[in-house]
Every structure is written in structure tokens, then in C-alpha cells.
Amino acid sequence: MRLILLLLFWITQPPKVEVLEKQQYKALVEKGYFVIDVRTPEEFEEGHIEGAKNINVKSEAFVTEIEKLSKSDTLLVYCRSGRRSLYAAQVMVSFGFQKIYDLEGGFLKWESE
């Protein structure tokens, strides 16, 4: 019975987006997890996290592009300040992605210090 309750709890709890501080996020980047920059191509060209793939959340192709990704992979998202990436991550959760981490403060925070 306990196992059934735990399973039921896990199934009914939607995956959540976890917002990480720079050091925690950086550790996951260094482990080689897939990094998605959801800013515009122009912002991406001005600077980005090494190895990041640019998938513009404002683009009509955003959903098409994220659907190409594995829903079971751990994905790291970021934008300029954290607002667009949190929105993008929530959209991704609605499409069935399970492990999404957002960078607190976005690329601005990444470049600081």
C-alpha cells in the first residue's frame, strides 16, 4: 500500500523547474549537461555560455526545436535575467520534460564576479 501511495504521489506531482544559483548551475554545465540559451540570436551572438544551443523562446520555431530534445535528459536553460528562461522552462514542463534547471539571474549573473 505504501508503494502505491508513493507511486501515486510521484505521478500526480508535476515536474518543477528548479532555479539554481550560479555555482550550482556552473557545476552542472561542467558535467556536460545540455545548455539552452533562450535569448534572441542577436543576444546570443553578443555572448553566451560555452557549448550552449540557442533556441529563441520568442521564435515561432521554439516548440518545434524543443520537441527534438529528449524529455528524459537533464536540461539547463538561461536567458538574460531569468524571466524568459523561467517561462521557457515552464513551457517545456508542459510538453513533458522532467529535469529542467534555470540559472538564477540569467546571463547577467553568469558574467558577474
How far apart CA 50 and CA 26 sit, in angstroms, is 11
Report yes or no on 41 lying in a domain.
yes
Q: Report whether pLDDT(14) > 60.
A: no
Report yes or no on 97 lying in a domain.
yes
Report yes or no on 7 lying in a domain.
no
Report yes or no on 82 lying in a domain.
yes
pLDDT score for 30: 97
Report yes or no on 54 lying in a domain.
yes
How far apart CA 101 and CA 8 sit, in angstroms, is 24
Higher pLDDT: 11 or 74? It is 74
Find where cell 514542463 sits: 93
**CATH number of domain containing 63:** 3.40.250.10
Q: Which domain holds residue 79?
A: 15-111
Tell me how many domains the chain contains: 1
Report yes or no on 107 lying in a domain.
yes
Report yes or no on 53 lying in a domain.
yes
Predicted model pTM: 0.85
Residues known to be catalytic: 79
Higher pLDDT: 36 or 17? It is 36
